[in-house]
Structure 1
């Protein structure tokens, strides 16, 4: 799916999904100030939704320069120039200092990480003591999914298949990454405080760095 089409869907019919997960992340992590890193951010949709309900500052990280151009445009559209910036980089090698980020988030990118254990370890490294990460994928609660599916059908938009794990997806994308056992992957990392959960609203990994 081209960036422009992806962007149109994410900022339009799928906007409630990002609002749903922003509220959930705020509730689950209780991190509402400091620095938030949105990895695999694409156009920044999740971080932008979280910016509306917190005082966090944001770094939108992605390997795609085109995606970050969309994020830059949205930062301006949402009036967040003083609170947000972009970073062209790979989640497997995050160019930030140890303990420099209060919150790490991501929706939809994790199935495409080539080495998820390495990426999760990098995320944990950049977390400040007391910081948290909430990464995974999903399409919101079942009732939300039903409404969005109806709206997509009305607009002639195909409901995309789920790539890579139960409950996780972006708006679309090429390829179908293999299924993964994220609990086993977390064990490989040795991160002491973490959990992976699957439910009606997706698959999510929650990490904490204890003080």
Structure 2
């Protein structure tokens, strides 16, 4: 299952749109970079909460003719994002769906992209979440996970703590995150090392976390 956020949707939305802004930009920029070389298709944002990421993507000209699904276990979170979708006239291209990251409600080989930001650390079976992501990708599809490292540099962790405090959020629970090497082990345990890269920037705000990039083979 995907664990529900402990904060109400309106509080989380304020946190996501303010404190997480720099990481959202990094995440969306990375998705945009990847999508430039792809044919339009369906992209699901797993653990989307108040749908900040799909809205950013759907409003970008690069994603003309793409369709988006915001998936979350918490229906209240999804409803918290609906006014943003409607205000921007994106209801025809963004679908909201209640669903579980460990049992994705999509057919095998059906999605062009599956992405998740700051979702992996919430999941009780992280290996299953990766195999599920791989399952639903069409051949040639891309899975992208960004999450925070437990072994983050102390100075960056302090900066993140200050950003959370500025919008009334408590410090993050670093103990629930995974290290860079543990992320690589998750990929090995999922049997995806043949098509997956796990990386982390050496500097900048991106060094707060890591990236798991899955490229499903064309002949999968």
TM-score w.r.t. length of structure 2? 0.77
Aligned-residue RMSD, C-alpha = 2.8
Are 2:93 and 1:83 equivalent residues in the alignment? yes
Query: Does the aligned pair in 2 maintain the 1:195–1:207 contact within 8 Å?
Result: yes
Unpaired runs of at least 5, structure 2 = 1-6, 149-156
CA-CA distance at 1:19 after TM superposition: 2.8
Deviations 1:88-144 (A, max 9, x none): 111100111011100111111110111111110000000011110111225xxxxxx
Question: What does residue range 159-170 of structure 1 map to in structure 2 within 5 Å?
Answer: 160-164=170-174
The equivalent of 2:130 in structure 1 is 120
Deviations 1:34-86 (A, max 9, x none): 10000011011122212222122111111111111113222212211110111
Match among 187, 194, 197 for residue 195 of structure 1: 197
Q: Secondary structure at the match of 2:82?
A: helix
Distance 1:60 1:197, change over 3 A: same
Query: Does the aligned pair in 2 maintain the 1:19–1:46 contact within 8 Å?
Result: no
Distance 1:12 1:194, change over 3 A: same
CA-CA distance at 1:160 after TM superposition: 4.8
Report the more deviating stretch, 196-205 or 5-14.
5-14
Are 2:76 and 1:66 equivalent residues in the alignment? yes
Distance 1:210 1:68, change over 3 A: same
Q: Output the CA distance in 2 between the equivalents of 1:111 and 1:69.
A: 23
Query: Does the aligned pair in 1 maintain the 2:161–2:170 contact within 8 Å?
Result: no
Count of residue pairs the alignment pairs up: 194
